Amino acid sequence: MGCVSTPDAVALGGAAPVRPAPAAQDGAAGPAPSAAGEVGDAELALALAAGDERALAEAFHRFAPLVHALALRRLPEADAQDVVQAVFVAAWRSRGTYDPARSAVGAWLVGIARHRIADCLRARHRDAEVSTGSVELVAGPHQQVAADPAELAADRIVLLDELEHLGEPQRTLLRMAFFEELTHTEIAQRTDLPVGTVKSHLRRSLRRLRTRLEGDRAAT
């Protein structure tokens, strides 16, 4: 392991790999994802939070390639692979504090990934200072990488999660603007809301999404 293999990485491992009681006996089973079938995002989130091993494997299947792409933007291959590993180990160990109601699995993993990438960059930075006295990062400030497809995709996952957490009617209004590309006057007509109300909802919601994006990017 490279830059993420620190004693901290060990100590950060929180919850023990516990054995949930047999659900059938308890009568307290949540929605159990089918082993091979397509599992919805919500089901995946609940299963992961509940400690279902298959949920971790499924999350890896869905998101590891994106996490890998994100890490490769800023790190060499070996470190990028370490980051992917560290992200999913951390996800498993902190599943006890993961709240599916607060964020979707993808957005949660992107958040962890961005922190891990930042940790790795800092470690490399320290090593570089110690060995050569110079500071050399693989990539520059985030403005330069923001247009990268992997960064864009990560941003999209985070923003759609934030969009889902907007109240109504804000969520519907912003969806109409984003995906149906309706103007605010068209949205007002469709929804029977005053034009001024639609405008202020769109403005506030868009700014809220930007705040979330900035917070998420701030990690790296």
The answer to whether 141 contacts other proteins (rule: CB under 8 A) is: no
Within the chain, strands assigned E span none
Q: Which residues of 141-168 are buried (b: 16+ CB within 10 A; e: fewer)?
A: ebeebeebebbeebbebbbbbbbeebee
Stretch 39-58: interaction string toward other proteins, x if CB under 8 A: -------xx-xxxxxxxxxx
The answer to whether 207 contacts other proteins (rule: CB under 8 A) is: yes
What residues between 68 and 97 interact with other proteins by CB under 8 A?
68-69, 72, 81, 84-85, 88-89, 92-94
The answer to whether 65 contacts other proteins (rule: CB under 8 A) is: yes
Q: Residue 131: CA atoms inside 13 Å, Cβ hemisphere, count?
A: 7
The answer to whether 7 contacts other proteins (rule: CB under 8 A) is: yes
Q: How far apart are CA 117 and CA 107, in angstroms?
A: 15
The answer to whether 29 contacts other proteins (rule: CB under 8 A) is: yes
Question: Among 12, 135, 137, 218, which residue interacts with other proteins (rule: CB under 8 A)?
Answer: 12
Residue reference for tokens 């890490």: 71
Question: Among 113, 120, 188, 209, which residue interacts with other proteins (rule: CB under 8 A)?
Answer: 209
> Cβ(69)–Cβ(77) under 8 Å?
no
What residues between 101 and 130 interact with other proteins by CB under 8 A?
none
